[in-house]
Every structure is written in C-alpha cells, then in structure tokens.
Amino acid sequence: MKRNMDLVRALLLSIEKDGCYKSLEKQYGSHEIRSHITLLMGGGQIVSDSSFREPLQLRWQGHELLDKIRDEQRWKTLKKMLGQPGDFSYETITQAVSSLVADQLKTLIPLAIWTVICNLTGLVTWLVGTVVVRAFGLW
C-alpha cells in the first residue's frame, strides 16, 4: 500500500484533538487507516497502550511533523511544490517547510525594516518639532 500523506496529516490532527481516528473511517478505509497507524507507530510519531486501541497519543516526532503540516494553506503549498502527497518523504517535508518559512521571513523582514524607519522618522520629526518650539520660545 502506498503511503498517503493526506491521511497521515488527518490522523495526526485527529489524534492530537481527541486521541481518536474513528471519524476518518468514512473518508478512508479501515485497512488503510490501520496501515498508516502502523507506519506512524513505527516512525515514532504516535504511541498507544496496545495496538490500534484508542486513545492514541502523539509523541515528540508526531508533534514536530504536525507543526510543519498543520496549517491548511502551508499544506496546499507543500503539495503544489512537491507533487502528490505519497511522492514525498518526511525529510522532504522538513526541507520544503524550512524553505517556505525562509521565503516568508524574506517578505516580513523588509516590512519590519520599513516599520522601524517609519517609527524613527516619526521620532525625528517629534524631536525637531520640540527643538524648534523651544528655540523660538513657543512653549
């Protein structure tokens, strides 16, 4: 069975929410869900007291992966960048998310610099105004 990263994401979100995956059985088959739970357990992303018994819990790696793919817009962008969800790996997701975040920072940094410049301009204007007012005894 081919790995379905959409299902992996759905499982992680569902397990984080309530430790359960039953709500996904309408969309995905029981066999596919169990196969992916086995993969996630084997990969150290989730844990259970006994095989397939709910509640399941996210482990550290599961939280890390989910934090990378939680945002719906980011997930759509990743899928567009990388192709079909079954065609990319955990490492590929990690690298792609790092690239996306770096791109987002590039757009935010100029905005932050512009904000600082505007604030400094306002401060300089205030200082000059204060000096002029005091110099001419208008205060």
Query: What CATH number did the domain enclosing 62 receive?
Result: 1.10.10
Distances (CA, A) of 107 to 68, 117, 131, 134: 19, 16, 37, 41
- The predicted pLDDT at position 58 comes to 93
Predicted local confidence at residue 28, as pLDDT: 93
Domain that holds residue 32: 5-135
**Residue 65: per-residue pLDDT:** 87
Angle between helices 30-42 and 5-18 (to 10 degrees): 80
What pLDDT digit, counting tens, does each position of 28-55 carry? 988 999 999 988 998 889 998 766 677 8
CA angle, corner 63, sides to 104 and 106, nearest 5? 10
pLDDT at residue 107 in the model:
72
pTM of the model: 0.69
Domain count within the chain: 1
Collect the ranges in the chain with pLDDT lower than 50: none
